[in-house]
Amino acid sequence: MVNRYAPWRYILLILIIAIGAIYATPNLYGEDPALQITHRVNLIDEGELSNIKSMLQSENIDYRSAELDGNNVLVRFESEDAQLKAATLMRDALFASDRRYGIALNLAPATPDWLTSLNALPMYLGLDLRGGVHFLMEVDMESAIEKALNRASGELRSFMREEKLRYKAVQSSKQSISVRFTSAEARDAARLVLEEEFRDYQFEDSSDDRSWFIQISFNPTALEEERRAAIEQNISTLKNRVNELGVAEPVIQRQGDERVVVQLPGVQDTVRAKEILGATATLEFRLVHGSYTDWRAAEASGNAPIGTRLYSESNGDPVLLKRSVIVTGDQIVGAASGIDQQSGTPDVTITMNAKGADRMARITRENIGKPMGVVFIEDKFEFREVDGVKQRIKTTESQVINVATIRDQLSKRFHITGLDSTREARDLALLLRAGALRAPMVIVEERTVGPSLGQENIDRGFLSVMVGFVLVLVFMAVYYKVFGLVANLALSLNLVLMVAILSIFQATLTLPGIAGIVLTVGMAVDANVLIFERIREELRIGNTPQAAIFAGYEKAFGTIADANITTFIAAIVLFGFGTGPIQGFAVTLMIGIASSMFTAIFGTRAVINLIYGRKQVTRLAI
């Protein structure tokens, strides 16, 4: 019996080996110390890039390259010393003119351009290997509920006016909305209508000597939904912000009811990371009140008219906006800059969700020709000692970033015009796309894993893989001779394919992932051991070498498949029900099982067929 493969099988094997080698190669080049320069609002252009290069050259700081990377500047250095000197220079120079610049120390892959052009990139390394920062952030749910009630109070006023319900005043607090009436009859009539329209709320009557009230608060189901929406919106926004930071494969996941874990591998500058993550910015759209004269008068007196609030624009000019909020930034799902076809001036196209679109349409229909302001609001937290007790203090900064005239009824998609330049339009669109935190967040825990510790973990993990790999190679070569050497080739190819697959899918390698690789190295030869022992058994019962090879591969396949499938199912369960490190272990284990099945059965059979196929042999070196 002749053991042979069709030519197409060898072509397929060679093609897979070549692809695996190409996509595994980027992991050999390591990473460069890098500096990432960003701006919170503006896009960095070629002019600013040239300015950064000039500053580095004037201080004789050697750098490998400096280029625009999306909306940021990425500068690569030969050493960490040059990286640190450049970071100090950039902070002193750029912060002096604009505090909204961000300078982040980072590590950038040193992959050659020819590999990058093939989309061959190194695999990501987890926090325990690459170093970086770990934050545990807590959502201020009290503020989330308060903001939701503020929005609801505006909707409540509009609805009661439309339904011509007689009420005295509407006031919102941290836990409820209070609607005041002048008579019990008016209150009772209003409650019947409100309960039918606002079914997510619970209502409670109260009164004093002169007034009658309805206290409105979220029912338990709506309250839980609001809390869930707050944390999910915040997680989505944090992901957008981390993408702006340029962190490869960050970990952002929910922990408990009110907390979020954020891990940023490769980030060395914790201050920059905290600025990005801790900025609790949001946007509000409000109608403008009065004229410029009214704004100046309110600024001079320090008193805003009833129902309004005094803000300032980025240039310091005052502006009066109405207290009633039209929509907020968390209702924006898209923003793009462009040119208004009617006027030829820059504009920004906004896309709202359904709820925001309905409210925007209703308000703007009634206010065509009137100006509307966009307010940028940022909550900041700091810890201070008050009477010997450490307390968390929140401060809020508000600024009007744009005032534009409402040209027509606005709905799901509308344009913001009145912008001075295309750059201003791009800046505003970028800000809107970045998203808003639905509720403020505060960092309650911070841990830093230094690059030296990460490198030590990499070295130890690499050593464990190599020791296990070499011991298996020696055993197989000694015990199974030529067949053992073939198995060793398959095992080497298995490692290359595992690294290539992790790199292609840009998976994150962690210490538990390395443990999965070590386990795979030990398990990968199991299939070959079963095959080789079956071949020996066939030889012992008197079969010819060719028949023994054929029977060994054919009869051992069922046992190999059963063993690997059961292990693969266990890995799927680990991935499905595990988190973090357990999932990292499961991913490498699944990849290792799949690649070892291919190399141990298909790969070794191809080499054995080349050596012994089409030949009349009397004995096998096994």
What CATH number is attached to the domain comprising 390?
3.30.1360.200
Encoded tokens for 370:
């009137």
Q: What integer pLDDT is reported at residue 15 of this predicted model?
A: 94
- Looking at the structure of the chain, the number of domains it has is 4
CA pair distance 201, 36, nearest whole angstrom: 47
Residue 401 within any structural domain of the chain: yes
Sorting pLDDT into bands at 50, 70 and 90, what band is 257?
Answer: confident
**Do both 105 and 204 map to the same domain?**
no
Q: Mean pLDDT over residues 415-424, rounded?
A: 65
Phi and psi angles of residue 291, each rounded to the nearest 5 degrees, phi first: -120, 180
**Do both 72 and 203 map to the same domain?**
no
Q: How many helices (H) and strands (E) does the chain have?
A: 18, 22
Residue 134 within any structural domain of the chain: no
**Do both 327 and 418 map to the same domain?**
yes
Mean predicted lDDT score pLDDT of the chain: 81
Where a domain ends, among 223, 240, 259?
223
Q: Mean pLDDT over residues 558-569, rounded?
A: 88
CA pair distance 410, 365, nearest whole angstrom: 7
* pLDDT exceeds 80 at position 216: yes
Structural domain including 167 reads 143-223
* pLDDT exceeds 60 at position 280: no
Where a domain ends, among 445, 475, 507?
445
Encoded tokens for 257:
């009811």
Given its phi and psi angles, is residue 215 left (phi above 0), alpha (psi -120 to 50 degrees) or beta? beta
CA pair distance 91, 214, nearest whole angstrom: 54
DSSP secondary structure of 189-251: HHHHHHHHH-TTEEEEEEE-SS-EEEEEEE-HHHHHHHHHHHHHHHHHHHHHHHHHHT-SS-E
Residue 270 within any structural domain of the chain: no
Q: Mean pLDDT over residues 165-194, rounded?
A: 86
Phi and psi angles of residue 202, each rounded to the nearest 5 degrees, phi first: -115, 145
Encoded tokens for 608:
């054995």
Contact (Cβ atoms closer than 8 angstroms) between residue 374 and residue 283 = yes
Residue 183 within any structural domain of the chain: yes
Q: What integer pLDDT is reported at residue 193 of this predicted model?
A: 87
Q: What integer pLDDT is reported at residue 428 of this predicted model?
A: 62
Q: What integer pLDDT is reported at residue 226 of this predicted model?
A: 84
**Do both 50 and 93 map to the same domain?**
yes
CA angle 575, 456, 116 (to 5 degrees): 65
CA angle 358, 359, 365 (to 5 degrees): 90
**Do both 308 and 183 map to the same domain?**
no
Relative to beta strand 508-509, strand 72-76 is unpaired
DSSP state of 169: E
Residue 247 within any structural domain of the chain: no
Q: Express each pLDDT in 338-357 by its tens digit.
A: 777 777 777 778 788 888 88
- Identify the residue with better confidence: 322 or 343: 322
CATH number at residue 70: 3.30.70.260
CB atoms within 10 A of CB 454: 21
Q: What integer pLDDT is reported at residue 347 of this predicted model?
A: 77
CA pair distance 90, 562, nearest whole angstrom: 60
Q: What percent of the chain has pLDDT over 90?
A: 5
* pLDDT exceeds 70 at position 67: yes
Encoded tokens for 83:
């990286």
Phi and psi angles of residue 260, each rounded to the nearest 5 degrees, phi first: -135, 130
CA pair distance 107, 92, nearest whole angstrom: 22
- Identify the residue with better confidence: 368 or 382: 368
How big is the chain by its Cα radius of gyration, in Å? Answer: 33
Only one residue has tokens 């309250």, namely: 223
**Do both 594 and 491 map to the same domain?**
yes
**Do both 330 and 367 map to the same domain?**
yes
Which of 268, 236, 175 shows the shortest CA–CA distance to 441? Answer: 236
**Do both 541 and 465 map to the same domain?**
yes
Q: What integer pLDDT is reported at residue 46 of this predicted model?
A: 81
Residue 246 within any structural domain of the chain: no
**Do both 543 and 396 map to the same domain?**
no
Where a domain ends, among 109, 132, 167?
109
Residue 68 within any structural domain of the chain: yes
Contact (Cβ atoms closer than 8 angstroms) between residue 539 and residue 618 = no
* pLDDT exceeds 60 at position 334: yes
Torsion angle, alpha carbons of 332, 334, 336, 340, to 10: -60
**Do both 439 and 523 map to the same domain?**
no
Residue 72 within any structural domain of the chain: yes
* pLDDT exceeds 90 at position 21: yes
CA pair distance 49, 40, nearest whole angstrom: 16
**Do both 167 and 301 map to the same domain?**
no
- Identify the residue with better confidence: 341 or 4: 4
**Do both 311 and 389 map to the same domain?**
yes
